[in-house]
Structure 1
Amino acid sequence: MDRLQAMKTFVAVVDSGGFTPAARQLDMSLSVVSRVVTELEAHLGVRLLTRTTRVVRPTATGVAYYENCRRILGDIDDAELAAAGAHEAPRGRLSITASVLFGRRYVTPLVVEYLLRYPEVDVDCLLIDRVVNFIDEGIDVGVRIGPLPNSSLQAIQVGQVRRVVCAAPSYLARHGAPAAPERLADHTVIQATGASTVPEWRFQHNGDPFAVRLHPRMTTTTNDSAIAAAVAGLGLAGVLSYQVADELRDGRLQVVLEDFEQPPLPIHVIHREGRHAMHRVRAFIDLAVDTLRANAALNPSA
């Protein structure tokens, strides 16, 4: 058994989500791909994949082996590039994920700069407001806001954001600012339902968290829409600070209830490999970390 080819075949099956797409990707017959993985499992004495009629997924052992295979194959790619004198020219395809609004405002400019620097790399952007499974969806790098669950992913903190309540100066001139979260019932509330469909906002007082039930006058599926309504003077919107950084800087919105805000949420660049990440992945991570850390909206002291 060619162990290197077996690793490549196994990784292709996991990345593509099945034997048939892996066979197309590798330009091999379906029977050969299936045989190679079966022989690999027999050689290792463990089951790497769970197979059903509808889906192929790695087992717990398969996930760990997959990560090791990607690292090893990445090291081989780097060694070949270095030997060919092309180590400073990343190439291949890179998959990136982030939330929709953060992706539009911060990740898309990064991708454009990255592609201009490295013309031999192609990038797939998955900008979506849900947690993405890196293995199932073949993602290399992501940006996540909030606490991270325990996982095999590597994480680099690049900033932090606050959950804020804000309104236009025109609204505050007419209605005043709420003195406490409990007074939100006296105000017009705008709620974006993208992150949560529960009509409540969360606050903290003297270290104790609490939630306030809302009766929104306007609900909308996007933060962009909620921010536009707040800027127009309709009422109070609850968003993340980076989402209204321009509006706060220009004075179109003002933050209220600052004394009741929860602790800031961390922003991390996350990826699958450690220090042996493939060159195209490392190049994007380096650019993202440097750029995001220098952004005053994400790091006020920058």
Structure 2
Amino acid sequence: MDRLEAMSILLQTVDKGSFTAAARSLSMPLPTVSRKLRELETQLGTQLLVRSTRKLALTEAGAAYATAARRILREVDDAERMASGEFAAPRGELVITAPVLFGQLHVLPIVTEFLAAYPDITVRLLLSDRNLHLIEDQIDMAVRIGTLPDSSMVATRIGVMPMVVCASPALLGEFGTPERPEELAGLPCIGFDSLAARTTWTFRRARGSGTVEMPIKPRLSVTTAAAAVWAARQNIGATRLFLYQCADALQHGDLRPILAKFQPDPAPVSLFHAARGALPLKMRVFLDYSAGRLRSQLGKLEATATEWAHR
């Protein structure tokens, strides 16, 4: 029995939540996954998984074994990277993930310059608005907008991302420009969220500290920023987005920012990777290369939002 393979299969089964999902992720027949896990349990002389029709759970022994298996596989991965020279010279494949539009506008140009500077490194850039799991999906580094709840990750803060409520000049000409968040009730709105349409928008209180949730009644709800921007340009309603998602429309005057002085604190933006020992040089050089450039770009966006808030 290939012990390392069996460990990998066990961890994929636990992480994916089922034998079927693990088999799909591993491109392995379902009976093979089940057989190899039975062989591992036989070899160890203990039950690792509790199987039922509804869920899959680790036994106490299985939880301890899975923790050790993660550590062992990580150490083996580091050893292979070191043997291949990734710790001695910046080379190999670097897997990076970022939100779709932010990745296209801000990460991809940096990656193309990085590739020219480091010809022995190749990059696989995964653009997704879903937060991919670094360990499960074998990703080296991620760009995230928002608070990072996972304390096992190492984050490098590269800036902040303001929120913007914006609307077309024609819509504001018809309904008037709100001066306070409470006046949104008289303005048609476009709801946007990548998972589900929000029915409240957060604003800073006019007096005192803290924030307030203002209810909205969207005339239209969409699941992509591009759709929200397009609909706002068509005078359907006001929408609320991260600044980078609507910066082009604002720059060309197709949309105008409103209620800028009431926007809550901007969301943090970070480059992060899984906690480990020494970083392979390909990750270290990308972190050093990209962090300053991203800080510069985000700084310009933050300055623009600050200017609007003081008008």
TM-score range, shorter chain: 0.7 to 0.9
Give the letter for the 2:179 counterpart. Answer: A
Moved more, 140-149 or 50-59: 50-59
Q: 1:227-238 residue pairs with structure 2 within 5 A?
A: 227-238=229-240
| Corresponding residue of 2:79 | 76
Aligned-pair CA distance for 1:121: 2.9
Q: Deviations over 1:7-61 (max 9, x none)?
A: 6763576469678789989xxx98997699669968xxx99x6475899888654
Q: 1:156 to 1:175 in 2, by over 3 A?
A: same
| Corresponding residue of 1:180 | 180
253, 258, 272: which one pairs with 2:274? Answer: 272
| Corresponding residue of 2:7 | 10
> Is the CA contact (8 Å cut-off) linking 1:95 and 1:141 kept in structure 2?
yes
Structure 2: distance between partners of 1:283 and 1:186: 51
- Indicate yes or no: 2:233 matched with 1:209: no
Give the letter for the 1:154 counterpart. Answer: V
| Corresponding residue of 1:166 | 166
Give the letter for the 1:177 counterpart. Answer: T
Show structure 1 runs of 5+ residues with no match: none
Q: 1:1-302 residue pairs with structure 2 within 5 A?
A: 10-11=7-8, 14=11, 50=49, 52=51, 61=64, 64-65=67-68, 68-69=71-72, 71-82=74-85, 87-92=88-93, 94-116=94-116, 117-118=118-119, 121=122, 123=124, 125=126, 127-205=127-205, 206-274=208-276, 276-296=278-298, 300=302
> Is the CA contact (8 Å cut-off) linking 1:23 and 1:30 kept in structure 2?
no
SS at match of 1:166: strand
Q: 1:22 to 1:62 in 2, by over 3 A?
A: farther
Q: 1:278 to 1:219 in 2, by over 3 A?
A: same
Structure 2: distance between partners of 1:151 and 1:193: 25
State how many pairs are aligned: 288
> Is the CA contact (8 Å cut-off) linking 2:87 and 2:281 kept in structure 1?
no
Aligned-pair CA distance for 1:282: 3.0
> Is the CA contact (8 Å cut-off) linking 1:162 and 1:265 kept in structure 2?
yes
Q: 1:148 to 1:14 in 2, by over 3 A?
A: same
Structure 2: distance between partners of 1:41 and 1:279: 37
> Is the CA contact (8 Å cut-off) linking 1:293 and 1:299 kept in structure 2?
no
> Is the CA contact (8 Å cut-off) linking 1:161 and 1:267 kept in structure 2?
yes
Q: Deviations over 1:39-95 (max 9, x none)?
A: 9968xxx99x6475899888654665455445533543454344xx99334114x43
Aligned-pair CA distance for 1:135: 3.0
Q: 1:62 to 1:246 in 2, by over 3 A?
A: farther
SS at match of 1:252: coil
Q: 1:131 to 1:259 in 2, by over 3 A?
A: same
Structure 1: distance between partners of 2:194 and 2:278: 36
Provide the TM-score with structure 1 as the length reference: 0.74
SS at match of 1:178: coil
Structure 1: distance between partners of 2:43 and 2:119: 36
Q: 1:121 to 1:138 in 2, by over 3 A?
A: same
Aligned-pair CA distance for 1:287: 3.3
Identical positions, percent: 26
Moved more, 185-194 or 57-66: 57-66
Aligned-pair CA distance for 1:273: 3.5
Give the letter for the 1:149 counterpart. Answer: P
Structure 1: distance between partners of 2:56 and 2:109: 35
Provide the TM-score with structure 2 as the length reference: 0.72
CA RMSD of aligned residues (A): 4.0
Give the letter for the 2:169 counterpart. Answer: P
Structure 1: distance between partners of 2:87 and 2:188: 59
